[in-house]
């Protein structure tokens, strides 16, 4: 046999082994994993879905993405009930309320469906300790949101020169992620930036239009307002629009949590000073990998923390930074 036919024979064996393994793998591990996002039309969760799909493709499992059109337990619970009725092998979910999703998720747990929470948590977010009534999820995979809030405070304090009035534009109380961002923001200001006065938080119900009107109302009451922290994508976009509508671009500094494509323009025009991008694709990827590991008999970490990328006008054109802008 000459060298070329030897190589050909070797690659044919390798190919048949690969195909054979693939077929056995598909038969043995024919899993369906459901991902229930906070809402379906948010670039954060769309990016999470892409990461989850990449892991599902790599592992040969089916991913079902099913969610509600808004971030609200009233609309998320019926979607969750429908998902449980389909009896997937595992559920990954971003619960929209720390309390209101406990009993609906317990139904999945009691039906023998493993639950992993991604992005947000139920109860205290500390699972598998035997304490409390909401520690049944197997794992929590997310950003460190207290740290993210602290990072936002540092960025905003620096942008306003260390003193002056700011406030937090937030979604609703009872959401683990945005509650923790506000907590971290206030802790950091109180501990390290005592010249900054944090005004009362404005809750916008995840509606950017509300966030924009609230910015203008706060500015009308405080014409020395120096800055705003938008604690999630819609809060930040709305607050930034409010600053622009009030004709205060550059005077009222904006620090945004999350990084949809529109944030890039807002950074370039100077409307937004800093955006703190989460890594939602990582959250989705490790969510599916964790569910798969559990379903195939491996033990899994009870908590996985994913990273952040800080974006500003000096680095936003760098492809290594821009790759963390969310997909829409
Ligand atoms: O900030 C993300 C997510 O982390 C949060 O839990 C809800 O809002 C977003 O989806 C952005 O809209």
120 and 165, same domain (yes or no): no
Backbone angles phi, psi at 88, to 5 degrees: -70, 170
Cβ atoms of residues 237 and 257 within 8 Å: no
Atom of ligand 1 nearest to the CA of 206: 12
- Please report which residue ranges of 29-144 form alpha helices under DSSP H: 43-59, 73-85, 102-110
Range of the domain at 134: 3-144+278-308
Compute the average pLDDT of residues 92-107: 98
Q: What pLDDT is recorded for position 6?
A: 33
Q: What is the pLDDT of residue 131?
A: 87
pLDDT surpasses 80 at 15: no
CA of 89 to the centre of ligand 1 (A): 26
**CATH of residue 47:** 3.40.50.2300
First CA to last CA distance, the chain: 54
Q: Whose CA is nearest to atom 2 of ligand 1?
A: 232
Give the nearest ligand 1 atom to 42 CA: 12
Q: Which residues contact 10 (CB under 8 A, 6 or more apart)?
A: none
Convert the pLDDT of each residue in 168-221 to its tens digit: 999 999 999 999 999 999 999 999 999 999 999 999 999 999 999 999 999 999
Q: What are phi and psi of 141, to 5 degrees?
A: -125, 115
Ligand 1: residue whose CA is nearest its atom 1: 232
For residues 13 and 20, give the distance between their C-alpha atoms in angstroms, rounded to a whole number: 10
pTM value > 0.75: yes
Please check whether residue 288 is in contact with residue 60, taking contact to mean a CB–CB distance below 8 angstroms: no
The pLDDT value given to residue 263: 87
Is residue 240 within 8 A of residue 268, CB to CB? The reply is: no
Transcribe 113-140 into DSSP letters: --EEEESS-STTS--SSS-SSS--SSEE
Closest residue CA from atom 8 of ligand 1 = 232
**Count: domains in the chain:** 2
Q: Are 154 and 188 in contact (CB under 8 A)?
A: yes
What is the per-residue pLDDT for 132?
Answer: 80
Residues 172 and 137 placed together within one structural domain of the fold: no
Same domain, 125 and 137: yes
The answer on 273 and 286 residing in a single domain is no
Atom of ligand 1 nearest to the CA of 280: 4
Task: Give the integer Cα–Cα distance in Å for 289 and 218.
Answer: 44
Q: In 3-state terms, what secondary structure has residue 165?
A: strand
Environment class of residue 17 by beta-carbon count within 10 Å: exposed (0-12), middle (13-18) or buried (19+)? exposed
Same-domain status, 193 and 290? no
User: Which pLDDT score is estimated for 123?
Assistant: 97
Other beta carbons within 10 angstroms of residue 248's beta carbon come to 18
- Residue 90 belongs to some domain of the structure: yes
Q: Are residues 233 and 155 in the same domain?
A: yes
Contact 303, 128 (CB under 8 A): no
For residue 270, is pLDDT > 80? yes
Give how far the C-alpha of residue 298 lies from the chain's centroid of Cα atoms, to the nearest Å.
25
Residue 185 and residue 156 in one domain = yes
Q: Mean pLDDT across the chain, nearest whole number?
A: 92
Query: Can you give the pLDDT at residue 16?
Result: 34
Among 71, 232, 239, 257, say which to mutate for ligand 1: greatest number of ligand atoms within 8 Å of CB: 232
Q: Locate tokens 């607050």: which residue?
A: 239
Q: Rounded to the nearest 5°, which phi and psi values hold at 231?
A: -80, -5
Report how far ligand 1's centroid is from the alpha carbon of 259 (Å): 10
Contacts of 49 (CB under 8 A, 6+ apart): 35, 37, 63, 65, 284
Predicted pLDDT of residue 12? 35
Mutate to test the pocket of ligand 1, among 94, 119, 142, 240 (most ligand atoms within 8 A of CB): 119
CA 177 to ligand 1: nearest atom: 6
- Predicted confidence at residue 28, as pLDDT, reads 60
In terms of domains, do 135 and 18 share one? yes
**23 pLDDT band (50/70/90 cuts)?**
very low
The predicted-structure confidence for 125-154, as pLDDT tens digits, reads as follows 999 999 888 999 999 999 999 999 999 999
CB-based pocket (< 6 A), ligand 1: 38, 42, 44-45, 119-120, 177, 232-234, 257-258, 278
Assess if residue 327 is contained within a domain.
no
In angstroms, rounded to a whole number, what is the distance separating the alpha carbons of residues 140 and 137?
8
Position 138 scores a pLDDT of 98
Same domain, 95 and 153: no
Query: Ligand 1 centre and the CA of 325: distance in Å?
Result: 14
CA distance 76 to 84: 12
> What average pLDDT does range 280-309 have in this prediction?
98
Per-residue pLDDT at 29: 74
**pLDDT tier, 279 (very low <50, low <70, confident <90, very high otherwise):** very high
């Amino acid at each position: 046999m000459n060298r070329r036919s030897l190589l050909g024979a070797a690659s044919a064996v390798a190919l048949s082994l690969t195909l054979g393994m693939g077929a056995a793998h598909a038969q043995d591990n024919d899993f369906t994993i459901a991902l229930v996002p906070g809402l379906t039309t948010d670039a954060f969760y769309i990016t999470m879905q892409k990461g989850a799909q990449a892991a599902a493709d790599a592992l040969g499992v089916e991913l079902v993405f099913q969610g509600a059109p808004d971030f609200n337990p009233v609309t998320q619970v019926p979607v969750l009930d429908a998902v449980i009725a389909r009896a997937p092998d595992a559920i990954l979910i971003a619960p929209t309320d720390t309390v209101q999703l406990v009993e609906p998720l317990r139904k999945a747990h009691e039906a023998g469906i493993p639950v992993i929470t991604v992005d947000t948590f139920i109860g205290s977010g500390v699972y598998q300790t035997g304490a409390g009534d909401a520690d049944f999820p197997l794992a929590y995979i997310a950003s460190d949101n207290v740290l993210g809030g602290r990072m936002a405070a540092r960025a905003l304090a620096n942008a306003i020169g260390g003193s002056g009035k700011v406030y937090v534009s937030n979604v609703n109380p009872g959401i683990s992620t945005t509650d923790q961002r506000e907590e971290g923001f206030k802790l950091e200001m109180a501990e390290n930036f005592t010249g900054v006065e944090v005004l009362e938080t404005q809750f916008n119900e995840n509606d950017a239009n509300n966030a924009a009107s609230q910015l203008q109302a706060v500015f009308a009451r405080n014409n020395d307002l120096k800055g705003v922290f938008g604690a999630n994508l819609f809060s930040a976009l709305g607050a930034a629009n409010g600053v622009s509508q009030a004709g205060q671009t550059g005077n009222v500094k904006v620090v945004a949590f999350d990084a949809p494509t529109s944030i890039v323009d807002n950074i370039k025009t100077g409307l937004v000073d800093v955006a703190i991008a989460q890594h939602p694709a990582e959250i989705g990827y490790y969510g599916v990998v964790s569910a798969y590991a559990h379903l195939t008999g491996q033990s899994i970490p009870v908590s996985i923390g994913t990273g952040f990328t800080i974006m500003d006008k000096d680095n936003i054109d760098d492809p290594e930074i821009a790759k963390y802008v969310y997909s829409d």
